[in-house]
Amino acid sequence: MKSLFIRCSEETYELAHSLAKKESRSLNKQIIHMIHSLADAKNIVAEDKSSVVENGTTLNSSEAVYESKVGLRGIVETKKLDSSD
């Protein structure tokens, strides 16, 4: 899962929040819905990134994830944040 951070004016934020409330969605779900709706309307599809080429060898996505978890990089990627609860 990826994160998307959006900077906007107060007015834009309030408009998005009002749209979400009217559709009985959270603000995040509403923004995701709007992105998918517009992509569908414009016949846009995301690229398939199911394989990665590394050292001349094509890896499937599960092998690529395994490879990225080696060494210090794996420590950084798997560290969990403590909650304040």
45-66 residue pLDDT tens: 988 766 555 566 665 554 444 4
Residue 66's pLDDT is: 45
Cα–Cα distance for residue pair 67/9, rounded to 1 Å: 41
Instruction: State residue 22's pLDDT score.
Output: 97
pLDDT on residue 6? 93
Q: Is residue 52 part of a domain?
A: yes
User: 37 and 62: one domain?
Assistant: no
In a domain, 85, yes or no: no
Domain count within the chain:
2
Q: Are residues 34 and 55 in the same domain?
A: no
17 within domain boundaries: yes
- Segments forming the whole domain that contains residue 23: 10-41
Q: Choose between 48 and 32: higher pLDDT.
A: 32
Q: How many CB atoms lie within 10 A of CB 12?
A: 11
- Asked if the structure places residue 53 within a domain, the reply is yes
Residues 52, 32: one domain?
no
pLDDT at 9 > cutoff 90: yes
| Phi, psi dihedral angles at 2 (to 5 degrees) | -110, 155
Quote the mean pLDDT of the chain: 77
The owner of tokens 């992509």 is 39
